[in-house]
Chain A
Amino acid sequence: MASTDARDKKTIGKLSKLAREVVRDINAEKDPSLSIPSRSLGNVTFDEARSIIELGDQKQQRQLFNVAHARKFMQTFLIADACRELIDEGKTTSIRDLYYITKHTLEGSRQNTFEDQDESDPIIEDLEVTIDALREELHLFATNKGSMVGPMTIVDSGDAIDLRRLGSGGWSIPSIVESNVIQFQECDAEYILLVEKDAVWRRLNEDKFWRANKCLLLTGQGMAPRGVRRLLYRMHKELKLPVYVLVDNDPWGFYIYSVIKQGSINLAYESLRMAVPKARFIGMSSMDREAFQLPDNVTIKLNDQDISRAKQMLAYPWFDKKAWQKELKTMLRSGVKLELEAFSNKGISYISEEYLPKKIRDRKWLA
């Protein structure tokens, strides 16, 4: 694919430019340093107009001759070189694979280039933001996570897949879902439903909820990974389908929703191509306990972490909306949280047959 080649060339150009800049400094006997956009809460801004989290202008300097940075500095270029090699060879690999590719013992020491994957993953993200390249442009992907079923046919790497005929497991969503890999074909869905929990997704799939309600049913198995988010974005944009998000009634669930809607702090630089600001929070709301008359005994007490997280979220600008403030405050006041599975207390298919249809019918969602 010509377009791919051009993109790869551009990426390699960015990588080697980064290296050349460092060598220029070294040759001038200047201390080499890298400017890395800072990926911390302090450096993200909430763009109210577009309703997404964006990376600010703050950069952090990574200096070779700083004892605390030296290792990361070396690692950054080790990763950069490994990515260059991947691109050169036209291969794509997982970030775990990359960790193993780049791991070796440093000459004359007992230290390894990376001690574990937790050390290499952030370096990859650093590199992405530094040269402004996407992960897939670096020929990297994360492990597949997330499933989808629904009334649609897609083409995945040239294979047409009918998402209606995938049994109980569904289609495993790859981490790279760019248009050169995944194309959408005839689609009967009217909306997209992202479910936080795999178990709930299975319930809905078994009940063929998607068939009855004409929706694309996805799960990110917890926090939605990049592939799922990017796919949501593409379907939302390209198929013009509304996105509904169904999560637990706890701060973590709310946060998952907010990441899908506005983007995450850590991946703020990807917000523009992943965030779905119009995503609707369908549930589970703190008000649902009363509305659906769930018994007290299915509630779980908020733990300290939940409470502090909820309080934190109250301060996030993207939760600074009347409905959300009310939502969070109600949860804090009641002191309890609820899992989606709590609906099973009222019947195993209550969630698919009663709860969701009613919520959508009554337009009881938050945006």
Chain B
Amino acid sequence: MVRATSTQKNDAAPKKPAKKGRRASAESMAQKQREISVSEFFTKNRHLLGFDNPSKALLTTVKEAVDNSLDACEEAGIPPELRVEIHQTAEDRYRVVVEDNGPGIVKAQIPKIFGKLLYGSKFHRLKQSRGQQGIGISAAGMYGQLTTGKPVVVTSKTGKGRPAHQYEIVLDTRKNQPNILADTTIDWERREHGTRVEIELQGNYRAGRRSVDEYLEQVGIANPHATITYVPPNNRAPLMLERVTDELPPETTEIKPHPYGIELGMLIKLMKESTHRSVSGTLQAEFSRVTARVAHQICETAGLRPTATAKRLGPQEIEKLYRAIPKVKVMAPPTNCIVPIGEELINRGLARELRAAIYASSTRPPTVYRGNPFRVEVGLAYGGDLRRMAIEEDSLTIKAKTEDRGEGPITLLRFANRVPLQYQQSACAIFKAVVDTSWKSYGLSQPRGGLPVGPMVLLVHIASVWVPFTSESKEAIAHYPEIIKEMKLALREVGRKLNAFLRRREKDRLQEKRRSIFSMYIGELARSLSRLGAGDETRIQKKLDVLVAKHAPQREVAVAAGASEVADSPVGLVEMSDDGELDDGELELDREEPRQLSLVDDDAPSAPKASKKKAAPKKKAAPKKKAAPKKKAPARKATSKKTTTKKTATKKTATKKTATKKTATKKTATKKTATKKTAKKKTAPKKGRRS
């Protein structure tokens, strides 16, 4: 804070001695004009980075550290195991500890990464990752330092047997340089490799909406492959999220910019700095999807020789080139660099957090905005308890929003590259897409210009090499028409699934009502008939049961909810793309991959790398698993998921058998009292879905 106030003084001080008449001269002004360091700028404009207020600051700090950890783990091919702790150290002070099992950081890099703004690996590339700029974690450290004076403590270990380095770093805000306060080597037995960041900051912890709790729950939804342990402050019960899949999302790849997304200034810069001689060569080297033929076409359209020297192009010529680009058909950028969560895993991610009656999801094929490939996916959880399967009751933040709302608006969860967005909902393209979708046609009511109403959690995820945020604090997605259009298409897809479910449920409800009416009376009727001498009561009752089943047939209702419903419900069913092959590739999307078919990783372009060899054979079993309807209710904590993968196929048939057997015995043993229940059980295991 010291520096910030002193700058303010400088601003204010010269006002008094200013001469009468003219308040300042060019010279007097020149005295005050000096360079501003990035860190100084952000010290004053901390809201741009998400440190507007104490509770948001705490959240942003956790968020930046968690994003980094997940990115690092994934990039290294390590299934993430995160531990997040928040300790209260004073009334308004908290110590945030985020620890991961990532690859660790090379000793020399630690100070820069945590003690320098705008330093990182992610800014200069086009690749899907959570972090984009290289500001976040150092800004968090800086904020902590400004508000508490405490340094950032970073511990990192890069491999088994290697030492763990522990640094205490502060950031020199004027120079934007790290200052190392302490540098020690410690024993870190617990982890073979990983990084631990501790930041103490002035903050405010609260549960509920936009809390760290909610943030981590949402991280859990979008990252079903991550195990997260969260220890909240004030002795609140910890939150344990076990991963629901062992398979990491496939590695994302880096791509070059696509010519359609380029801006004039950027093109000028590329031409001037080109290492290639000719315009054509430069175009081919700097852009994706520009072949020699395409480069020639561009040059031709611009009236330039393809062999012209790139560096010598004048501004007008470059502008001609710039204007020519959209006129030439260029294949859409490669999209295998985009890795969606996948329909199956979205459902399972939702099921890990929420107990809904139905889960449905839809992953759109990749498409492009401004030359940047992106994919949109939508998932929804509807009805049921919508209760989080957490250990403790009072941190159920999503639940808090969704239940006892009767007819409140849905809960919208926004994600960009698997990172939950929590602020500025109404400024976000996602919000607009949801509001602009006509939910009435899918069975939900919707006030004009608002979110639809109902017990529903709606997840919208955009994955892209460059997510266009409206600000550096990454809170809302900019309103690109291409993005909103894709979102709407995805929303419609899940909307249709929801509608099918709602209609089916309505039908079931009616049937159930009929059944309950009949069942209620047949016991009484059987008794009367029997007493009137028409036969044995039990026999009559049994025959009546048969008739009831005939008149109000019971569809198999997966009341168990959870992931089981996801798998066998036609609604949750993940469909194969219907439009198959792409023709000519012109502006069509590069579809090397079919749409999500089963477990998300199956069809991923960059299939498992070296580190994932172990997982490979498991994967083969996946499509089969899909075919057999799951009968098992999901474990409360989804812990079992890990092990089920392999065994499911055999286990499933076994469960099925026993289930049928059970029914058989039950059937004979049935007394009139159990009518309703038996009817249910009778039909349940045998009949499949409507299929």
Contacts and interface: CB of A to CB of B under 8 A. Distances in A.
Contacts of B449: none
A77 B534 CA distance: 11
A304 interface: no
Interface string A47-74: 0000000000000000011010011011
Given A23-B529, A67-B517, A107 B547 contact: no
A15 interface: yes
A111 B523 CA distance: 13
B314 interface: no
Interface in A93-109: 106-109
Interface stretch (A78-86, A142-150, A186-194, A221-229): A78-86
B341 interface: no
B485 interface: no
Given A64-B525, A111-B520, A23 B547 contact: no
For the residues of A in contact with B, the DSSP-based class is: helix
B533 A16 contact: yes
B394 to A, nearest CB: 34
A182 interface: no
Contact of A78 (B522, B524, B547): B524
Contacts of A19: 528-529, 532-534
A65 B547 contact: yes
Contact of B534 (A20, A70, A73, A85): A20
Interface string B511-530: 00110011111111101110
A109 B513 CA distance: 13
A65 B522 CA distance: 10
A27 interface: yes
Nearest to B541: A26
B273 to A, nearest CB: 79
B76 interface: no
A27 B513 CA distance: 24
Contact of A23 (B513, B524, B534, B676): B534
Contact of A29 (B522, B525, B534, B543): B543
- How many chain A residues sit at the interface, stated as a range, is 20 to 34
Interface in B525-562: 525, 527-529, 531-535, 540, 543-544, 546-548, 550-551
Interface in B658-689: 672-673, 676
Nearest to A27: B543
Interface in A107-140: 107-109, 111, 113
Contacts of A108: 519-520, 523, 673, 676
B520 A78 contact: no
A137 to B, nearest CB: 16
B528 A26 contact: no
Nearest to A81: B528
Given A31-B547, A107-B673, A108-B676, A84 B520 contact: no
A221 B534 CA distance: 42
A235 interface: no
Contacts of A27: 535, 543
A204 interface: no
A22 interface: yes
Contact of B540 (A26, A70, A85, A106): A26
Given A70-B518, A70-B521, A74-B524, A20 B533 contact: yes
Given A20-B533, A70-B517, A26 B524 contact: no
B532 A107 contact: no
Contacts of B535: 20, 23, 27
Given A19-B534, A20-B534, A74-B525, A26 B520 contact: no
Which of A18, A67, A73, A77 has the largest count of B CB atoms less than 10 A from its CB?
A: A77
Contact of A84 (B513, B514, B522, B531): B531
B547 A29 contact: yes
Given A19-B528, A29-B543, A81-B528, A71 B521 contact: yes
A106 B532 contact: no
Contact of A26 (B514, B521, B547): B547
A24 to B, nearest CB: 8
A113 B524 contact: yes
A87 B517 CA distance: 31
A22 to B, nearest CB: 6
Nearest to B546: A29
Nearest to A31: B547
A247 to B, nearest CB: 42
Contacts of A73: 521, 525
Contact of A107 (B524, B531, B534, B551): B524
Question: 5 smallest A-B Cβ distances: which pairs?
Answer: A19-B532, A19-B534, A77-B528, A74-B521, A23-B534
6 contacts: A70-B517, A70-B521, A77-B529, A81-B531, A84-B531, A84-B532
Interface of B: 513-514, 517-525, 527-529, 531-535, 540, 543-544, 546-548, 550-551, 672-673, 676
Given A65-B547, A107-B524, 9 more contacts: A31-B551, A64-B521, A67-B514, A77-B525, A80-B528, A80-B532, A84-B531, A108-B519, A108-B673
